[in-house]
Amino acid sequence: MWQKNVRYLDYNATSGISEAVRDRLTELLQEPELLANPSSRHRLGQRSRHLVFEASERVSKSLGLRDSEDIVFTSSGTEANQTALKSIMKSSELLIIGSGEHSSSREWGELQTSDKIIELPLFSNGLYDTETLFKILLDSKRRNLSAIALSLTLANNETGVLLNLSEIQEIIKKSGVKIHFHLDAAQAWGKIPLELDHLNADFVTFSSHKIGAPAGTGVIWVRKGASFDPLFTGSQARGRRGGTENLLGIVATGLAAEELDVESFQQHTKPLIARLEDGLSFIGHPVRIWGKDSARVPNTSRFSLLNFHSYENWVELLDLRGFAVSHGSACKAQIIEPSHVLLKMGATQHEALNSLRVSLGLDNSRDDIDGFLTALHQILVQKGEVKA
């Protein structure tokens, strides 16, 4: 899937296009009559409409759903997140948002101008402070607020730490407060089992290029009865979105969803991450693995190289040695700044700057891990940090 001279260890940024998806898209591009506008009433348009329906069915099945009518396709995971946020904020008097959320949620313009937002703190293990959540909910109850919005990430894109969802749900129930709940599950799709009906959320959002489809398509699951307020109004998706459907992206998303095998993914990536983290203890330099003792998705490791007092260009140095890794969220990759997630977990500026995320896919092997560890050790030797 990737260049032969590059070992790709950045699957949380994008998974690349799977072979089955690429082959099917090639077929469609060779039959342009199949790419008519899905809203057209003629036969070609209705054939395209059926392709959208098939994709919805495939996505629904991968998410443990029976009804594909609850699926809305968007232009991206960002649009999906911001649509969900707009929807839950419209009918709420206060928004509680996690301090470790993805930038597409955390930096949305309407959040910056609102005075009705409380940030939920993270612990050093990557889990949210549920005691503080309970206090916020009880306080809102004393203030007679009729409804509260809550937006959290099911699997953190930087650390892979999984939300303590059952505890969150128990606290909501215990508080007796009405909650409009959004879950960002972009990094969970295909990595852990998902049954959306059991998540007690109003909106769950996804990004197609995290599972083997091209970038440019997102997904929102909308609970029946939830108040939906789209960013773009129009007649598409049963009146829940504006703009002509991205037919190729939607078809690709359905095919990628159909290919997902959570058990195989976990069996393949979990031992490789364990090998990586075991190997980090032998590179001769102190390392801190973030969220190490918390439940995480099986393919992700985020670690800091300690005792550096200025930023070292780790991503570029490893790239020169043939390994593609990440400094953090790909959406912020062009800006060298400390990870906000790690800072919220208690990292120092230097620990947050001198950190790397390794995220794996089904194409990775033990050779990739061993080669990465060797390359990192060689860089440290070159810097005079460890002995050869």
Kindly report, as residue ranges, where domains of CATH 3.90.1150.10 are found in the chain.
7-16+261-382
- Model pLDDT, residue 39: 85
- pLDDT of 228 > 60? The answer is yes
pTM of the model: 0.94
The pLDDT tens digits for 373-386 are 999 999 999 998 88
What's the chain look like in SS3?
CCCCCCEECECCCCCCCCHHHHHHHHHHHCCHHHHCCCCCCCHHHHHHHHHHHHHHHHHHHHCCCCCHHHEEEECCHHHHHHHHHHHHHHCCCEEEEECCCCHHHHCCHHHHCCCCEEEECECCCCCECHHHHHHHHHHHHHCCCCCEEEEEECECCCCCEECCHHHHHHHHHHHCCCEEEEEECCCCCCCCCCCHHHCCCCEEEEEHHHCCCCCCCEEEEECCCCCCCCCCCCCHHHHCECCCCCHHHHHHHHHHHHHCCHHHHHHHHHHHHHHHHHHHCCCCCCEEECCCCCCECCCEEEEEECCCCCCCCHHHHHHHCCEECECCCHHHCCCCCCCHHHHHCCCCHHHHHCEEEEECCCCCCHHHHHHHHHHHHHHHHHCCCCCC
Listed ranges 26-40, 95-109, 158-172, 316-330; the one with the highest mean pLDDT: 158-172
Q: Would you state the pLDDT for residue 3?
A: 58
Task: Name the CATH code of domain 7-16+261-382 (choices 3.60.20.10, 3.20.20.10, 2.60.40.10, 3.90.1150.10).
Answer: 3.90.1150.10
pLDDT tens per residue, range 77-134? 999 999 999 999 988 999 999 999 999 998 887 777 778 899 999 999 999 999 999 9
Residue 329 has pLDDT above 70, yes or no: no
pLDDT given at position 310: 86
22-259 has which CATH code?
Answer: 3.40.640.10
pLDDT tens digits for 281-297?
A: 999 999 999 999 999 99
Judge whether residue 9 has pLDDT over 70: yes
> Can you give the pLDDT at residue 334?
57
Could you give the residue range(s) of every CATH 3.40.640.10 domain in the chain? 22-259
Mean per-residue pLDDT, 213-242? 86
